[in-house]
């Protein structure tokens, strides 16, 4: 197996031009997949490990956007004070992702590019309105995460292109952020259903906007504008959440697999909204 270790962006872009080159970020998904491939030895992997520009967290646009280097590990982000203080729902998602060794190796960019419907960071990043920064030999471009994710395992990443950073707009501190993942156990568990919710309320507690995204209940991260709309204008009460939950449960069309049945996922898709009443 050929593994390249570029040290800066120009070297990275050049390495990605190698025939059949594949990006190796933390390797927690890629190496598992390669293990099942008999021709894995022929692969050329481009490691992001030594490209310093792909790591780190910085405030941008006078304090309204957090720019996260795509090769930052989950553990680094989980320990970062700005992530913890301003993006608690992302921190909650990161805390449930894999296990300590996986969080030490896996990266935010890797979780995005794997594009699993059960990817733990995807629902929070979607409701937060994350934008991706992509680089290739022909320059850089920017794309909303929602447009980047095309389907299970499929993204808008072009050959020769790398995800370099994730820009996350910071919600105002008064906005409610919530993330919950339901797995079959409390570590090393693939999500059966997950929910990220960003809810803003106005003067008398009436909801002004609600952004909801579910993981593992559809081929991609699932949104339900009808359930969001049902919350707007109401207070965050059990009765309002029950209405939204009924809408979500009736509209979602999950599948059955070894982890759970479609019926279970449908019930829990709605049920998880009720937790917002207990926050």
Q: Does 258 contact another protein by CB under 8 A?
A: yes
In the chain, the N- to C-terminal Cα span, in Å, equals 50
Q: Does 243 contact another protein by CB under 8 A?
A: no
Candidates 80-88, 204-212, 221-229, 261-269; binding stretch for another protein (CB under 8 A): 261-269
According to CB under 8 A, which one of 186, 203, 204, 239 is a site residue for another protein?
186
- Phi and psi for 178 in degrees, rounded to 5? -145, 135
Instruction: Report how far residue 158's alpha carbon sits from residue 148's, in angstroms, rounded to the nearest whole number.
Output: 11
Name the minimum Å distance from CB 183 to another protein.
9
Q: Does 105 contact another protein by CB under 8 A?
A: no
Instruction: Report how far residue 201's alpha carbon sits from residue 209's, in angstroms, rounded to the nearest whole number.
Output: 7
According to CB under 8 A, which one of 31, 58, 59, 274 is a site residue for another protein?
274
- Residue 107, strand partner residues: 73
- Residue 60, strand partner residues: 65
Q: Does 39 contact another protein by CB under 8 A?
A: no
Q: Does 242 contact another protein by CB under 8 A?
A: no
Let me know: does 103 contact 121? Beta carbons within 8 Å. Answer: no
Q: Does 271 contact another protein by CB under 8 A?
A: yes
- Phi and psi for 135 in degrees, rounded to 5? -125, 145
Phi-psi bin for 37: left (phi > 0), alpha (psi -120 to 50), beta?
A: beta
45-74: which residues touch another protein (CB under 8 A)?
none
According to CB under 8 A, which one of 141, 154, 184, 235 is a site residue for another protein?
184
Instruction: Report how far residue 86's alpha carbon sits from residue 65's, in angstroms, rounded to the nearest whole number.
Output: 10
Name the minimum Å distance from CB 138 to another protein.
36
Q: Does 190 contact another protein by CB under 8 A?
A: yes
Interface with another protein (CB under 8 A): 38, 99, 182, 184-190, 192-193, 258-261, 264, 267-268, 271-272, 274-275, 277-278
């Amino acid at each position: 197996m050929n593994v390249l270790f570029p040290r800066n962006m120009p070297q990275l872009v050049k390495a990605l031009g190698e025939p059949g080159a594949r990006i190796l970020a933390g390797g927690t998904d890629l190496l598992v997949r390669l293990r099942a491939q008999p021709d894995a030895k022929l692969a050329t992997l481009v490691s992001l490990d030594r490209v310093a520009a792909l790591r780190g967290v910085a405030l941008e646009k006078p304090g309204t956007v957090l720019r996260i280097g795509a090769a930052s590990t989950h553990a680094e982000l989980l320990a970062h004070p700005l992530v913890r203080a301003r993006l608690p729902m992302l921190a909650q998602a990161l805390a449930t992702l894999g296990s300590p060794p996986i969080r030490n190796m896996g990266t935010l960019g890797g979780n995005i590019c794997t594009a699993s419907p059960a990817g733990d960071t995807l629902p929070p990043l979607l409701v937060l309105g994350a934008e991706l920064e992509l680089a290739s030999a022909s320059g850089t471009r920017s794309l909303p995460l929602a447009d980047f994710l095309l389907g299970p395992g499929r993204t808008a990443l072009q050959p020769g292109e790398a995800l370099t950073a994730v820009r996350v707009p910071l919600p105002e501190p008064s906005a409610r952020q919530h993330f919950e993942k339901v797995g079959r156990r409390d570590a090393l568990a693939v999500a059966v259903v997950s929910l990220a919710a960003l809810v803003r309320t106005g003067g008398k507690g009436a909801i002004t906007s609600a952004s909801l995204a579910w993981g593992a209940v559809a081929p991609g991260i699932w949104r339900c504008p009808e359930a969001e709309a049902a919350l707007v204008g109401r207070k965050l009460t059990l009765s309002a959440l029950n209405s939204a939950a009924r809408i979500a449960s009736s509209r979602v069309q999950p599948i059955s697999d070894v982890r759970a049945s479609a019926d279970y996922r449908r019930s829990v898709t709605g049920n998880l909204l009720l937790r917002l009443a207990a926050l």
